């Protein structure tokens, strides 16, 4: 699979792990500055990852395998933490 799409997918997953719990809190009626910042930050990460996936040239994108695996690992940890915090 293309490294650009894998990298941007990892960024989008991390952004979703920030965005979804914050939106659930807002829907439950909890309003605070950290929740609003999580909503804006998570949504920005997702929209930025989508934009970069559509606009960047995948042939010019260069990232080492180590950094790519680190980002994928961090995305997995983010999903794991989000699942644990919602249970």
pTM of the model: 0.90
pLDDT at residue 37, rounded to an integer: 96
Cβ–Cβ < 8 Å for 13, 75: yes
Q: Is 1's pLDDT higher than 80? A: no
- Determine how many CB atoms are found less than 10 A away from the CB of residue 23: 15
DSSP per residue, 62-79: ---HHHHHHHHHHHHHHH
pLDDT at residue 61, rounded to an integer: 86
Give dist(CA 65, CA 23) in Å, integer.
Answer: 33
- Determine how many CB atoms are found less than 10 A away from the CB of residue 35: 16
Q: What is the pLDDT of residues 8-59, one digit of tens each?
A: 999 999 999 999 999 999 999 999 999 999 999 999 999 999 999 999 888 8
């Amino acid at each position: 699979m293309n490294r650009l799409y894998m990298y941007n997918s990892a960024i989008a997953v991390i952004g979703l792990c920030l965005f979804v719990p914050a939106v659930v809190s807002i829907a439950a009626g909890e309003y605070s500055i950290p929740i609003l910042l999580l909503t804006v930050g998570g949504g920005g990460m997702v929209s930025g990852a989508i934009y970069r996936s559509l606009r960047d040239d995948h042939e010019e994108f260069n990232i080492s395998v180590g950094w790519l695996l680190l980002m994928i690992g961090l995305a997995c940890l983010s999903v794991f933490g989000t699942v644990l915090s919602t249970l």
